Amino acid sequence: MSAAPAPSGALRAELRRLFGFEDFRQGQEEVVRHVLAGRDCLAVMPTGSGKSLCYLLPAMLLPRPTLVVSPLIALMKDQVEHVPEALRNTVTSIHSQVGPEDVAARLHALGEGRVRILFVAPERLRQERFARVLASVPFGLLAIDEAHCVSMWGHDFRPDYLFLHRVLGGPLRGATAMALTATATLALSAEIPRALGREMALVRTPGIRENLRYEVVTLEDEEAKKRYTDRWARAAPGESTIIYARARMQCERLARMLQQGGLSAAHYHAELPPAERAAIQERFLEGSLRTIVATTAFGMGIDKPDIRRVLLYNYPSSVEDYVQQVGRAGRDGQPSTCVLLATRADAGNLRRFTRGDLPTLEELRRVWSALRARRRGDEDVVVSAGELARAADLDAQRKSPIVHCGVLERAGLIERRYDAGSDMRIAMLPPPADAAARLGALLERMAAEAAQRAEDVVAFGESSRCRHLQVAAHFGDVLLPPCTRCDICAPRLDPAAEAAGAARAFPPPPADPAGAILDAVGALRWPLGVAGLVDLLTGSVSAGYAGRSSAHYGALGALPRSTVKRWVLELVRGGHLEAYQEASRDGGTYAALRVGTRAGLPAFHAAPASGKRAGGRGGAAGALEPPGQPLSPAEQATAAALRAWRLEEARRIAKPSYVIMQDRTLQAIAQAGPRSLAELRHIHGMGERRIEEWGEQILAVVAQSEPGSGRRQGS
Ligand code: ADP
Ligand code: MG
């Protein structure tokens, strides 16, 4: 099974010869070496990092064939298509869309030793006929893609993955096992080998996606989200964009809204007829369709390198899902933007949705009773998932009896055997005395883990810590902020509000925003809730009398509303502000805020702002892009040169890039094309300190990027 360790150069030569890649990417060679040496291995590497190669290369070098388990047909097809032409005829797959004759032909080729790699879905392993194949073909390697699906506590539990344990202990006892996933916390990295029953060498590469800008835009309500999405989508109509929404109806409505605005947009979800889905996907891949509004079903197994923008219209159900969804952007390594729209209401929806998705004790009872009712003597129960769902009266839209059976099996009440055709075959076990307690404990843990996932992703949205840092911390990676690639470390000002014309002058942000917020609350004569307080602090025209009459009205008016709101929410979470019920005028109550503890106030960092911003309803606008007037191609070139210089300079001084200049200023410089320090001084956002520090350099960058002479001056 194992080959002699190849010298580094030799392995690279094989990589070049077989796949045409110049060199290994981070982590790949280590994984390949483990596998070639016959060591079981778990690879945790980010989306797009090239996990497939980790089994494709060994599969081509090992003497015995490789079996790859992959959860989706779309993923399998994509993998097979991406195998280099010359190797294609040694790779095949068996799944539900392959007809019986083709299956027979493929198995025949496998038996004759003409197949190096066979892809199957995990369900296939449960089929008795396939079990015979496993017993007769000497597979040397089992590669398990998307291995996080094995975790019952995880975000993507697939009960069929649990069966892999038995395969690895049975027919594939002698094969090397490798597991691959993009999303595993440290805890999950330990759980996967346990669930598979193998000890595995762990290879982790950090999941930091350098080219992705993470933004969270906090908005008031659904209406504001729609407005934002509309403008955001139209700001870059030529770029490949995915908008993810939770519900199918939502996808359809948003797509219609964008189409009415003249955009090339379509919706995509699991209910569409397969032909239509395929056609939409095809148009998106070739680039004739730019914007897709989809449920998360879209994108798995799509290796489109140039997706520039991803917008999550709803909270994803976990940080893992967040990473997977935004991870579809920028696979070509080019800068790409990922925006999450956050509202309080949606955070609440997520929590409800998370709970509603889990099996309940009542449902488990019904499934078990339905199974028992079908039992004849000592024989196994044979039943299709659909029939079982109906018999147990499960909501077929949201619940799968396969998951319920997984839980019952874990509690020792049943054992799922090899499937009988497309039906499940289930042995009823004598119920353990503590069956109810076992089920209760399992459900409790599932609920706790699901709730934690929801809380984690909401905290990610509401916190004012570096987004990349938060993601890295979640997965146990280390990252030092500021990253310059998120809305926290490098905020954009609220350009939509700016575009409305700077009507009011606000004071520069205070040095200690948290203290200033508490001061404002402490001085309130009428209690306010979060929205009212944010209106007060940002100097919004929609602030009520309590806000407008406060001495602190507009104290943080120089900052985007979304930033201020995030800070307020963080102070509430930290107990620095306390929410309590206050009687409202209409006889009900509302959540008002009062000062809590001042101990351990967080140090919020305000972006140095121009001090001016329209006092309009910023809440609906959020951090919109791109700001201001569109740039001409020559101006775009200058802006790009300035950006590159700024990035380098920011690295040099180890400060976020906005400290040097904000995007808006950068754009103004690109448009104005200044030739002297005096001209530079006229540009909004270039204070004397910046001129002194960077003025000459900026002028040099502008001069160098000018194409020829005929550039206009000023704007
Ligand atoms: P993952 O499964 O980790 O999300 P894939 O295996 O689908 O990523 O690989 C993503 C892309 O990277 C594919 O287009 C693949 O061909 C490419 N790739 C993989 N390894 C290398 C390499 N060593 N050099 C260049 N490209 C690579
Ligand atoms: Mg993959």
What whole-number distance in Å separates Cα of residue 229 and Cα of residue 225? 6
Is residue 317 within 6 Å of ligand 1 at its C-beta?
A: no
With 80 as the cut, is the pLDDT of residue 505 above it?
A: no
With 70 as the cut, is the pLDDT of residue 498 above it?
A: no
- C-alpha dihedral (155, 157, 161, 163), degrees to nearest 10: 140
311: Cβ contacts below 8 Å, ≥ 6 apart = 229, 232, 233, 241, 242, 243, 244, 338, 339, 340, 341
With 60 as the cut, is the pLDDT of residue 614 above it?
A: no
Question: Residue 179: beta bridge partners?
Answer: 42, 144
Same fold flag, 359-442 and 513-606: yes
Q: How many CA atoms lie within 13 A of 614 on its CB side?
A: 15
Distance of CA 127 to the CA centre of its chain: 33
With 70 as the cut, is the pLDDT of residue 235 above it?
A: yes
Mean pLDDT of the chain: 86
Nearest ligand 1 atom to alpha carbon 24: 23
Q: What's the pLDDT tens digit per position in 310-327?
A: 999 999 999 999 998 999
The position carrying tokens 């407005």 is 227
With 50 as the cut, is the pLDDT of residue 642 above it?
A: yes
Closest C-alpha to ligand 1, atom 23 = 24
Higher pLDDT, 657 or 616: 657
Written as six digits, the tokens of 291 are 């914007």
Query: Which helix or strand (DSSP H or E) is residue 690 part of?
Result: helix 688-705
With 80 as the cut, is the pLDDT of residue 393 above it?
A: yes
With 50 as the cut, is the pLDDT of residue 502 above it?
A: no
Closest C-alpha to ligand 1, atom 13 = 50
CATH topology of domain 8-204: Rossmann fold (3.40.50)
What whole-number distance in Å separates Cα of residue 414 and Cα of residue 401? 13
Closest C-alpha to ligand 1, atom 2 = 51
Q: What's the pLDDT tens digit per position in 240-272?
A: 999 999 999 999 999 998 998 889 999 998 889
What whole-number distance in Å separates Cα of residue 618 and Cα of residue 614? 8
Predicted TM-score (pTM) of the model is 0.67
pLDDT attached to residue 497? 37
pLDDT range class, residue 623, cuts 50, 70, 90: very low
Please name which ligand lies nearest the alpha carbon of 70. 2
- CATH number 3.40.50.10540 is the correct assignment for the domain at 513-606: no
pLDDT attached to residue 452? 92
CA–centroid distance, 419 to ligand 2, in Å, is 27
pLDDT range class, residue 703, cuts 50, 70, 90: confident
pLDDT attached to residue 255? 94
Is residue 25 within 6 Å of ligand 1 at its C-beta?
A: yes
Please name which ligand lies nearest the alpha carbon of 68. 2
Do 182 and 149 touch, CB atoms closer than 8 A? no
Look at residue 244 and give its three-state secondary structure. Answer: strand
With 90 as the cut, is the pLDDT of residue 397 above it?
A: no
Higher pLDDT, 61 or 395: 61
What whole-number distance in Å separates Cα of residue 107 and Cα of residue 104? 5
Neighbours of 574 (CB within 10 A): 15
Do 65 and 110 touch, CB atoms closer than 8 A? yes
- Across the beta sheet with 414-416, the strand order is 381-383, 424-428, 414-416
What whole-number distance in Å separates Cα of residue 150 and Cα of residue 167? 14
Nearest ligand 1 atom to alpha carbon 145: 2
With 80 as the cut, is the pLDDT of residue 578 above it?
A: yes
Is residue 52 within 6 Å of ligand 1 at its C-beta?
A: yes
Written as six digits, the tokens of 48 are 């797009």
Domain residue ranges in the chain: 8-204, 212-349+478-500, 359-442, 513-606, 633-705
Is residue 48 within 6 Å of ligand 1 at its C-beta?
A: yes
Query: Which helix or strand (DSSP H or E) is residue 696 part of?
Result: helix 688-705
Q: What's the pLDDT tens digit per position in 344-365?
A: 999 999 998 888 888 999 999 9
pLDDT attached to residue 484? 85
Q: Is the bond leading into 626 cis (omega within 30 degrees of zero)? A: yes
With 70 as the cut, is the pLDDT of residue 185 above it?
A: yes
With 70 as the cut, is the pLDDT of residue 707 above it?
A: no
pLDDT range class, residue 127, cuts 50, 70, 90: confident
Q: What's the pLDDT tens digit per position in 377-390?
A: 889 999 999 999 99
CA–centroid distance, 318 to ligand 2, in Å, is 19
What whole-number distance in Å separates Cα of residue 395 and Cα of residue 2? 48
Q: Is the bond leading into 482 cis (omega within 30 degrees of zero)? A: yes
pLDDT attached to residue 542? 59
The position carrying tokens 């070739």 is 286
Please name which ligand lies nearest the alpha carbon of 44. 1
Nearest ligand 1 atom to alpha carbon 78: 7
Closest C-alpha to ligand 1, atom 9 = 50
From 70-74, 117-121, 406-410, the region with the lowest mean pLDDT: 70-74
CA–centroid distance, 6 to ligand 1, in Å, is 22
CATH homologous superfamily of domain 633-705? HRDC domain (1.10.150.80)
Please compute the mean of the pLDDT values over residues 594-616 and round it to a whole number: 67
Q: What's the pLDDT tens digit per position in 409-462?
A: 999 999 999 888 889 999 999 999 999 999 999 999 999 999 999 999 999 999
pLDDT attached to residue 617? 33
Report residue 378: phi and psi, to 5°. -95, 5
pLDDT range class, residue 615, cuts 50, 70, 90: very low
Do 569 and 530 touch, CB atoms closer than 8 A? yes
CA–centroid distance, 21 to ligand 1, in Å, is 10
With 90 as the cut, is the pLDDT of residue 304 above it?
A: no
pLDDT attached to residue 541? 61
With 60 as the cut, is the pLDDT of residue 294 above it?
A: yes
Please name which ligand lies nearest the alpha carbon of 51. 1
Please compute the mean of the pLDDT values over residues 689-709 and round it to a whole number: 81
Neighbours of 52 (CB within 10 A): 19
- C-alpha dihedral (351, 352, 358, 362), degrees to nearest 10: 140
Question: Residue 266: beta bridge partners?
Answer: 292
The position carrying tokens 């923008």 is 309
pLDDT attached to residue 493? 58
> What architecture is the 359-442 domain classified under in CATH?
Orthogonal Bundle (1.10)
pLDDT range class, residue 4, cuts 50, 70, 90: low
pLDDT attached to residue 499? 37
183: Cβ contacts below 8 Å, ≥ 6 apart = 148, 155, 207, 320, 323, 324, 475
Do 1 and 62 touch, CB atoms closer than 8 A? yes
pLDDT range class, residue 589, cuts 50, 70, 90: confident
549: Cβ contacts below 8 Å, ≥ 6 apart = 525
Is residue 12 within 6 Å of ligand 1 at its C-beta?
A: no
pLDDT attached to residue 618? 34
From 190-194, 230-234, 338-342, 710-714, the region with the lowest mean pLDDT: 710-714
Do 393 and 399 touch, CB atoms closer than 8 A? no
pLDDT attached to residue 440? 94
Closest C-alpha to ligand 1, atom 25 = 21
Please name which ligand lies nearest the alpha carbon of 29. 1
pLDDT attached to residue 492? 74
> In this structure, which amino acid lies at residue 429?
L
With 70 as the cut, is the pLDDT of residue 538 above it?
A: yes
What whole-number distance in Å separates Cα of residue 196 and Cα of residue 95? 22
Do 66 and 139 touch, CB atoms closer than 8 A? yes
Q: Which of 24, 53, 212, 324 to mutate to test the pocket of ligand 1 (most atoms within 8 A of CB)?
A: 53
Q: What's the pLDDT tens digit per position in 61-76?
A: 999 999 999 988 878 8
What whole-number distance in Å separates Cα of residue 199 and Cα of residue 108? 33
Is residue 83 within 6 Å of ligand 1 at its C-beta?
A: no
Closest C-alpha to ligand 1, atom 27 = 50
CATH homologous superfamily of domain 212-349+478-500? P-loop containing nucleotide triphosphate hydrolases (3.40.50.300)
Strand stretches in 28-159, DSSP E? 41-44, 66-69, 91-94, 117-120, 141-144
Written as six digits, the tokens of 195 are 């669930």
Is residue 51 within 6 Å of ligand 1 at its C-beta?
A: yes
Nearest ligand 1 atom to alpha carbon 23: 23
pLDDT range class, residue 607, cuts 50, 70, 90: low
pLDDT attached to residue 274? 86
Closest by CA position to 297, among listed 324, 268, 257, 340: 268
What whole-number distance in Å separates Cα of residue 626 and Cα of residue 622? 12
Percent of the chain at pLDDT above 90?
52
62: Cβ contacts below 8 Å, ≥ 6 apart = 1, 3, 35, 36, 140, 141
Question: Residue 581: beta bridge partners?
Answer: 591
Neighbours of 678 (CB within 10 A): 10
Is residue 49 within 6 Å of ligand 1 at its C-beta?
A: yes
Do 291 and 263 touch, CB atoms closer than 8 A? yes
What whole-number distance in Å separates Cα of residue 581 and Cα of residue 589? 6
pLDDT range class, residue 610, cuts 50, 70, 90: very low
The position carrying tokens 């493929």 is 106
CA–centroid distance, 536 to ligand 1, in Å, is 50
Query: Which helix or strand (DSSP H or E) is residue 387 part of?
Result: helix 385-391
The position carrying tokens 């003249």 is 262
Please compute the mean of the pLDDT values over residues 503-510 and round it to a whole number: 68
Please compute the mean of the pLDDT values over residues 49-57 and round it to a whole number: 94
Written as six digits, the tokens of 455 are 């809380």
Do 197 and 162 touch, CB atoms closer than 8 A? no
pLDDT attached to residue 298? 82
Q: What's the pLDDT tens digit per position in 140-163?
A: 999 999 999 999 888 788 889 989
